[in-house]
Amino acid sequence: MIAASAIIHPEARIDEGVDIDAYTIIGAQVEILKGTHIGPYTFIKGPTRIGKDNQIFQYCSIGEDPQDKKFHGEPESVLEIGNGNTIREFCSINRGTATGGGITRVGDDNWIMAYVHIAHDCSVGSHTIFANNATLAGHVQIEDYVILGGFTGVHQFCRLGRHSFTAIASVVVKDIPPYLIVSGNVAKPSGLNKEGLKRHNFSADTIKLLRQAYKIVYREGLVLKEALQRLAPLADDCEEVAYFANFIAGSGRGIVR
C-alpha cells in the first residue's frame, strides 16, 4: 500500500508488496523490492537499491549525497541495502563517492537503532547491531556480527572485525581485530568477546585457542611482529585464530592495543 500523500518520482521502481507511509518522498533512480515497509516522513534519494523485507521507520534520510567536500555530483555515487534490515527513526545513510569506490553498502539482517549515521563509502556486513547514535565516518568497514554500543564513534577508514563489540560511547580510531571487546575514549581492548562467541555456537576448544591468541597479542608485552610469529602455530590448528592473525597483519591504520 502506498499512501496518497507519498511523493514518488516516476523513474523510481517500486515492487508490488512495498508499503510506503504518508508524506514519504522517493526520488529518481530508487529501487525498492517487495516486502519492504517505508515509514512516514522518510526521504530516499537515488541511485539507491533497497532489497526485500526491510523495515525503515519514520524520519529517515536514505541515499542522500555524501557529506564529503570532494563530492561534486559525480554519477559514481550509489547506496545498496540488502534484505531483512531494521532501520529505526532518524537514521541517515549516505551514498558513496567516486574516490571511495562509489558505493555505500549495508548487508542483510542488520538491526540499526535510532539516530545512527552511516557515512559515504562504508561497508556494513550482515547480522550487526548498531545501538542508538552510533556513527560511522567515511570508508569504514564493519564485518558480520559486529555490535556497536550506543554513541560509539568510528574514525574514517577503520575496520572492525567480525564478532567484535564496542562498549557505550567508545571512540574508535584504529582497527578492532575480530572477537574483541573494546571500550573508552579512545577505545582500548577490554578482553575477548567470550559471551558473544558462546551465543554464536563457537566451540569451547575454539574459544580456548582464541583466548590464547588474545593473551599473546595483548598480555605478553610483545611487539606486533613477535606476536604474529607466536600466533603462527595456533593459526595452523584453528581457522578462527588464522583469521584473527591475518586481520592484524593486514591492518593499515594499526590495531587498538
**Pair 94, 67: CB distance under 8 Å:** yes
Tell whether 169 is covered by a domain.
no
Tell whether 1 is covered by a domain.
no
pLDDT, tens digit, 9 for 90 and up, residues 196-227: 999 999 999 999 999 999 999 999 999 999 99
How far is 153 from 88, CA to CA, in rounded Å? 18
pLDDT, tens digit, 9 for 90 and up, residues 54-90: 999 999 999 999 999 999 999 999 999 999 999 999 9
How far is 144 from 108, CA to CA, in rounded Å? 9
Tell whether 182 is covered by a domain.
no
The number of domains in the chain is 2
Tell whether 244 is covered by a domain.
yes
Clarify whether 117 is annotated catalytic.
Answer: no
| Same structural domain, 233 and 125 | no
How far is 130 from 115, CA to CA, in rounded Å? 10
**Given pLDDT bands bounded at 50, 70 and 90, which one contains residue 96?**
very high
Tell whether 257 is covered by a domain.
no
Q: Which residues lie closer than 8 Å to 6 by C-beta, 6 or more apart?
A: 20, 21, 22, 23, 24, 25, 26
Clarify whether 35 is annotated catalytic.
Answer: no
Mean model confidence pLDDT for the chain = 97
**Pair 4, 23: CB distance under 8 Å:** no
- The pTM of the full predicted model, rounded to 2 decimals, is 0.97
| Same structural domain, 16 and 118 | yes
Question: Which stretch of DSSP H or E encloses residue 241?
Answer: helix 239-249
| Same structural domain, 70 and 137 | yes
For 107, the 3-state DSSP assignment is coil
Q: What is the pLDDT of residue 126?
A: 98
Looking at 127, 142, 157, which one is the last position of a domain? 142
> Which residue type, as a one-letter code, is found at position 210?
L
How far is 54 from 31, CA to CA, in rounded Å? 13
**Which listed residue (120, 127, 139, 155) is catalytic?**
120
Q: What is the CATH number of the domain that holds 207?
A: 1.20.1180.10
| Same structural domain, 218 and 108 | no
Q: What is the pLDDT of residue 197?
A: 98
**Pair 14, 8: CB distance under 8 Å:** yes
Tell whether 174 is covered by a domain.
no
* DSSP state, residue 99: G
Q: What is the pLDDT of residue 35?
A: 98
Clarify whether 121 is annotated catalytic.
Answer: yes
**Pair 117, 135: CB distance under 8 Å:** yes
Q: What is the CATH number of the domain that holds 62?
A: 2.160.10.10
Tell whether 179 is covered by a domain.
no
**Which listed residue (84, 100, 107, 138) is catalytic?**
138
**Which listed residue (121, 139, 155, 161) is catalytic?**
121
Terminal-residue alpha carbon distance, the chain: 51
Looking at 103, 119, 142, which one is the last position of a domain? 142
Q: What is the pLDDT of residue 155?
A: 98
Residue 24: which domain range? 7-142
| Same structural domain, 136 and 208 | no
How far is 129 from 111, CA to CA, in rounded Å? 5
Q: What is the pLDDT of residue 241?
A: 98
| Same structural domain, 123 and 224 | no
| Same structural domain, 217 and 123 | no
% of the chain beyond a pLDDT of 70:
100
| Same structural domain, 21 and 92 | yes
| Same structural domain, 128 and 208 | no
